Structure formats: structure tokens, C-alpha cells
Chains A and B, each alone.
Chain A
Amino acid sequence: MTLAEQVKAKFFNSVTEAYTDKGDEVVRVKRESIKALLSSLKKDPDFDFDLLMDVFAVDYLHWEEKEIRFEVNYNLFSLKKNHRLFIKCGVPELDAQIDSAVSVWPAADWYEREVWDMMGIVFNGHPNLKRILMYESFQGHPLRKDYPYNRRQPIIGPVN
């Protein structure tokens, strides 16, 4: 049984799908149970995911086969067991929010701020959710596919 299938067998209430994609173990998770699942994966001695490698989001605006626009991805790694798991979680456009993982791994802090800054997904329970790359006066979220690529918002100087 692959790692993704083991996770699905153990947390069948929250995991909807488990598969291997080009050698990567992936599970899809319901949005409501993401935080409970992440903290169980960290504490469970069978999985022991002590390292959060990355949190990022993908905008599937122009993908017809995708019903849910955003997908938040977590990349977990276990230093003790040397295995890696990707967790995907759909986030709809009109309700772009998900629970924060900062209380599970403090490392999630800046990753989540980056996702908020670039994609505009709100992380509930984040202690300091403000922009990390762009300036505070910036309007919108530049990596959303519907942000015009050449819309500029200079602090000083002309818009050209």
C-alpha cells in the first residue's frame, strides 16, 4: 500500500482521493477537515510529518475540467521516516478561505502570507495575515489569472 493509500485508509473521513502522480504521493482533502488532518499527520507515529516544506496555491481559472477555482497545496516531509506527501485542497472562488496551519507548524506563517498576497486566499486563524511581497497600498492579488498582467501600481513615478 502506498503512503497516500495508507493516509486515506486511516483518515477516510477527510481524505477523498489518494493517488500517485509521476512518483509523488498525493491526497485530496475536504476543506473543512484540513487543519485536523494536518495536525494528526504531524502527531501520528506512522506518518510523523515533522517538516512543512511548502504551502502554495494554484489558480485553475481557465481549466474547464476544474469546478473549483483555487487549490491550496501542502508539501509535507518526514525527516525521521524520509517520506513525502502532497496534500491538495480545493478552495472555491466566492468563499476563498481555509484554516491556517500556523498552530501546527510555525513555518506556515510566511508561506500563508505569500499565498494571501499573491492569490488572495484568507487563512483563518493566522496570527498576522498581511502582505509579505507587495506593498500595503497594492490593490488586488497579482498572481490571480484574472489580474491583467500589465496593470501597474507604482508607488512613485508614472503608470506606463
Chain B
Amino acid sequence: MGEVVQEAGVGIPKVEKFNFMTTTLNDAIGWARKFSIFQYPFVTACCGMEYMSTACAHYDVDRFGAGFPRFSPRQSDVLFVVGTISHKMAPVLKTIFDQMCEPKWVVAFGVCTCTGGFYDNYSTVMGIDTIIPVDVYIPGCPPRPENVLDGLMKLQAKIQKQKQEV
């Protein structure tokens, strides 16, 4: 029997030349969940262009296990809210969020979704966190793909660390 090296704190089991490993159930589920993010892109405005460039071959979001957008909220884990949310759209967003199964996470993509951005008018919601809970905020108008990937990695770290409800 050999020795298993586990990276401190991160919870990623490392198998070095042995064919077994030890971990906790919580860490193992977190590891599985963070690399199988099925996203629901809720794209309403210009940020969608940057979302597309992140998702496609150039930046390749599939490297992070998040390359499979589902266009049904019932099959997805992460709600990407991409673009300006108007007051007329707000009930739709809330319904989509309510339709998603647990565990679920929400990413606010772009300043419009974080705070309302430069819109200060009759039609725009001042940040989607007034309607639904948000896990990761990605600022920028629109955020660069590197910035989006950074946000995605922060979300993965959050998923890994949290208590996994099963």
C-alpha cells in the first residue's frame, strides 16, 4: 500500500503512481460539480457578444467543464445573466431562476447586471441582486473573456469549498 498525496486545503486528491485515493465525500462531490457546470445563458443585450467569444473556440470555456449550455433551466446548474435586465424582463428572470433545480448558482455578467451600470432610468433594474441571489459578479462593460474566465474560476473555487447538499 502506498502513500496518497493530498494538496493542502484545496481538496483535490492527487494520485501519484497508485491506483487508489482518499478524499472526503464533500470534496469529491464538489470536485465533480465544479467541473460539470451546465450553464443557462440568459442573454439579453450586448454582453452576449462577449459571452459568445468566451464560449467559442478562441477562449474555450469547455476547458473548465462549462462548455455545454442548456437552454432549459431545469437541466442547468449555473444561471449566466448576460446583459441589461429591464423591469419588464425581471419577472421572467425570476421565473427562470425558480425553475432551476438545486444546487444552483448565479453569475452576474457585466455591470448592467451587477449594478445597473450606466443606466439610471425608468426601464432598467438596478442590479439583479435586487431580484435573485448572485454568487459571482463579473464587472466590465462588457467584461473581457479573460475576466469572464476569472469569474468562472472563482465560481469553481466557491463550489469546491461550500457544503455540498445531496
Contact = CB atoms under 8 A, between A and B. Distances in A.
Interface of A: 134-135, 142, 147, 149-158, 160
Contact of A152 (B88, B94, B122, B131): B122
Nearest to A135: B88
Interface of chain B, main secondary structure: loop
Contacts of A154: 87, 90, 125
22 contacts: A135-B87, A142-B122, A147-B122, A149-B120, A149-B121, A149-B122, A150-B120, A150-B121, A152-B87, A152-B122, A153-B87, A154-B87, A154-B90, A154-B125, A155-B90, A155-B91, A156-B91, A156-B94, A157-B90, A157-B125, A157-B131, A160-B130
Interface string B119-137: 0111101100011000000
Interface in B46-103: 87-88, 90-91, 94
A20 to B, nearest CB: 35
Interface residues of B, number: 13
B120 to A, nearest CB: 6
Contacts of B88: 134-135, 155
A86 B90 CA distance: 38
Contact of A142 (B91, B120, B123, B131): B123
Contacts of B120: 149-150
Contacts of B130: 157-158, 160
A157 B88 CA distance: 11
Contacts of A152: 87, 122, 126
